[in-house]
A and B are shown apart, each in its own frame.
Chain A
């Protein structure tokens, strides 16, 4: 069965970086794009961007360009999302998803001094 299993919760200080992983299984990894979505506490979903697991092509949300990098490792069927220069506004649950169907369980990233 298809699964997207994300890394555990993180606590970071302002200005630091965080890298969230998303381990995919149960399907041909290169056949599906991975989208990253975040949700701040009590807020709606925010699209962060996507990466083609086949080519590595990325498309990032305009407001995150320059701070976010999405990558994949086809040898381990894992997708990664790195966010730099963190502020308290980046405190959120981060999800990886195939969008059309399966979602990861989410990773809580807390940014606090």
Chain B
């Protein structure tokens, strides 16, 4: 089974910009992996921020954007806010049927 990799932790200053990435052990991530991004705060269920690489949900703040970058899926946060401190997970789809989650990135806004 494929392994999906994310940075274990990242720190961003308030108002700063940070990029989280999502890689695949099978090679470059493409739009065909339908990358998703999820945000989870302690004690809460996950919340879907982004689907199919760069499509936002209605509740996704405009400061989040999704892309493919250097063979990985990327979630960029521009203008970080204290409320963005959370765990961010990505998922990739393989052969359109199997989904694998990354291990998550703990984002600190400090």
Contacts and interface: CB of A to CB of B under 8 A. Distances in A.
Interface residues of A, number: 20
A37 B89 CA distance: 13
Given A44-B101, A45-B89, A61-B98, A106 B45 contact: yes
B66 interface: no
Given A44-B89, A45-B89, A104 B45 contact: yes
Given A45-B89, A47-B99, A59-B97, A99 B48 contact: yes
B7 to A, nearest CB: 13
A91 to B, nearest CB: 17
A95 B46 CA distance: 9
Nearest to A103: B45
Nearest to A98: B48
Interface of A: 35, 37, 44-47, 50, 59, 61-62, 95, 97, 99-106
6 contacts: A45-B40, A59-B97, A61-B98, A97-B48, A100-B51, A101-B48
